[in-house]
Every structure is written in C-alpha cells, then in structure tokens.
C-alpha cells in the first residue's frame, strides 16, 4: 500500500486455458487486499488484461505485469521472498517476523504456485509459509496472508483514479460514478 | 469448529465443467479455515468427490453435500445467513455482530456465488457483507471472512481420523502417516 515498502505477488506456473480464472483471482485478490503489484509468470495475458481492466474501472494504484523469468524475479528481489505453501512454517508463528521486516523497510514478494511448484523455489525463498498445513487454495492462502501482513488495514484502503465506486449497503447493488462525488 | 455452533458454506451457481476448480477451492477453503460443512448447489459432484477425498486423507470432521434447493437451505437456516458480496456492508463494520451471534449460539451460513447472484439471495440473506467493496474472488472473500469470524483460532484446529499430516518446516515437504505418531 502507498507509503509502505512494496508488497508484490508472484504467480507461478500459469497454464493458458486451464488456469485463467485462478490466475485472474490471484491478481484481483492481490489488488483488493493491499498488494501493490502482481507479476504473472508465463503466457497469462488474458488474466493480465482482466486485472488491468478492473484497475482502470475501480482504481489503483496497482500494477500487473508478465514475466518469462520468475526465478530471476525471486533471485533479484531486494527484500523478503515468502513462498506460500502447505508445507511451510505456520503463518501464525512467523507473521510477526514478516511484519517486522516489512515495517523495517523490506519489500515483500509473496510467491504462489498453481499445481506443483519445483523444489528450487522452496530453496530460493527466504521463507516457506503455510496458511494452515492443509490442501486448499492459493487464492485463500494469499488472502489470509495479506490480511495478516497488513493487520486488516488494507480493508480501509482508498482508491485513486477510479471511474466508479460501490456503496456498501445492507441490501442493494449500488455503484456510483466517482465524478459525482 | 467442534464445540461451537455450526458454520456452513453454501456455494451457489455452480456450472459443471466451467466452475469445478473454483467450487473445489471453495469447499477446500471452507474445510481448511474452520467451517464444519460445505453445501454445493447444483451438479457439483466432481468437486464434492475431491473435497471428500481430501477429508478422508487429511482429516475432519468436515461434511460436504450437494443440494438442488439452495434457496430452501437459506430460507430454512436456523441461524444467521451471511451473503458475501462486493456490494455488502463492510466486513470490518459488522464482524463483531456476526461473532456475537455465533458466540451466542447461532449457526452461521456463509453464502458465496460464482458469477451473478440473483437479487432474491440479497433479500433472503440476513446480512450482505463485503470483504472489501472491490471485485476479486469468492474464495478470497470466504477465507478472510472465516479467519475474522474465528479470529484466527481455525489456524490451530486439530484434525481427526487423518491418514497423514504435513510437518510444518522452513524448507522441505514432509508428510508423515498419522499412525506413526
């Protein structure tokens, strides 16, 4: 989030056709829950387009980009690389350490896979962290990780350059153009 | 979770073929993050099978079932029905009320859609709640909702009747049979 060291999300292992929706959900979750940038490995141009379109309409700042060299992204990351995996250390045991690093100025790269992630990612990451040690969803794991990292401050995030804004309400679906506000 | 009023997740709008993976992720996220049961509307038998298989291997208690009458599930629910939607009230504004209801004995039904959810669900729900008012992922919204509802207690949940257990560790992928413990 703005005024804080960067938090980026690296999505590994995208398979065109098969993973479009999950990769799009990773990107949109990164944006909605306080990350600054999503980096999608491989030919994820459809997901990229959807995330860009949502950012154009609902605001940012948020960047999304493709990479052909996800291992270089990990290797060259200037801060802490946190690989989210069901085999990792328990998030509740290590989140203070991650928050301290972030608060102390380290950019955070959260890495999420799709299917099997090669073992060199486990070795290259600074930390392997599990949001539970149960099989579930990389989208769910990322969501809880970001919410814990930001201690729910991301829920109060304000958006810039949006065309429209949803008005939260008990029953209804109200979207207003932001230029009327 | 055991010893508490039930928390169930109702997945609406499953389209066979198209939604298998998302519906499976909804079911697995419900299980991993402390819900007691997932109810999948429509012909979601493949997702049901996957969630049952994970429960057999990694433990429970957790139930998963199909329904042809999701609106009856909502109408007949004996406690609080919370529909998760980007148009709803902000989760941070209403989560205390939901936790109080749950702590006071009310079973909670969390309802998540896939694509467009018909407006009668908004009207039938006791509360419409947004995990941000941004478009992202029903899996991410469900994950943050459950984590807030349980105040992260679900991360400490213990599993019964599991064949195997992942050993959390800094670098590695260690799974042990539970009968060796």
- Contact: B119, A173; criterion CB under 8 Å: yes
CB B91 within 8 A of CB B145: yes
Q: What mean pLDDT comes out for the span A57-70?
A: 98
**pLDDT per residue over B82-135, tens digit each?**
999 999 999 999 999 999 999 999 999 999 998 789 999 999 999 999 999 999
Rounded to a whole number, what is the distance in Å from the CA of A122 to chain B's nearest CA?
A: 6
ipTM of the complex: 0.97
Residue A21 · residue B17 · CB < 8 Å: no
Chain B stretch 92-131, residues whose beta carbon is closer than 8 A to a beta carbon of chain A: 92-93, 119, 122-123, 127-128, 130-131
Task: State the pLDDT at residue B116.
Answer: 87
The domain locations on chain A are 7-180
B89 touches chain A (CB under 8 A): yes
**CB distance A141 to A112 below 8 Å:** yes
Contact across the interface for A136 and B29, Cβ inside 8 Å: yes
- Using a CB-CB cut-off of 8 Å, the residues of chain A touching B159 are 134
State the pLDDT confidence band at B180, using cuts at 50, 70 and 90. low
Query: Measuring CA to CA, which residue among B149, B136, B21 is closest to residue A9?
Result: B136
Name the superfamily (CATH) of residues B7-180.
Answer: SPOUT methyltransferase, trefoil knot domain (3.40.1280.10)
Query: Model's pTM, two decimal places?
Result: 0.97
Calculate what percentage of chain A has a pLDDT beyond 90: 95
Q: Which of A136, A96, A130, A91 is nearest to B174 (CA)?
A: A130
Neighbour-count burial of A105, counting CB atoms closer than 10 A to its CB (0-12 exposed, 13-18 middle, 19+ buried): exposed
Interface contact A141, partner B, CB < 8 A:
yes
| Of residues B36 and B2, more confidently modeled | B36
Determine which helix (DSSP H) or strand (DSSP E) holds B25, and give its type and residue range.
Answer: helix B20-32
The answer to whether the Cβ–Cβ distance between B147 and A152 falls below 8 Å is no
Q: Is B90 on the interface with A (CB under 8 A)?
A: yes
Task: Answer whether residue A144 shows pLDDT above 90.
Answer: yes
- Tokens, residue A101: 């690093």
Written as six digits, the tokens of B82 are 């919370």
Instruction: Give residue B173's pLDDT.
Output: 95
Distance from CA of B29 to the nearest CA of A (A): 5
Is B171 an interface residue toward A (CB < 8 Å)?
Answer: yes
């Amino acid at each position: 989030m703005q005024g804080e060291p960067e938090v980026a999300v690296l999505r590994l292992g995208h398979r065109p056709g098969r993973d479009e929706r999950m990769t799009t959900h990773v990107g949109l979750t990164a944006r909605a829950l306080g990350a600054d940038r999503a980096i999608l490995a491989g030919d994820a141009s459809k997901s990229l387009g959807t995330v860009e379109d949502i950012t154009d309409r609902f605001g940012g700042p948020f960047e999304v980009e493709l990479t052909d060299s996800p291992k270089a992204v990990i290797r060259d990351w200037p801060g802490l690389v946190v690989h989210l995996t069901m085999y990792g250390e328990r998030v509740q045991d290590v989140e203070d350490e991650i928050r301290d690093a972030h608060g102390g100025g380290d950019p955070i790269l959260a890495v999420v896979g799709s299917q099997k992630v090669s073992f060199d990612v486990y070795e290259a990451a600074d930390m392997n962290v599990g949001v539970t040690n149960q099989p579930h969803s990389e989208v769910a794991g990322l969501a809880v990780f970001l919410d814990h990292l930001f201690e729910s401050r991301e829920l109060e995030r304000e958006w810039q350059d949006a065309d429209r804004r949803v008005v939260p309400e008990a029953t209804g679906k109200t979207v207003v153009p932001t230029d009327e506000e």
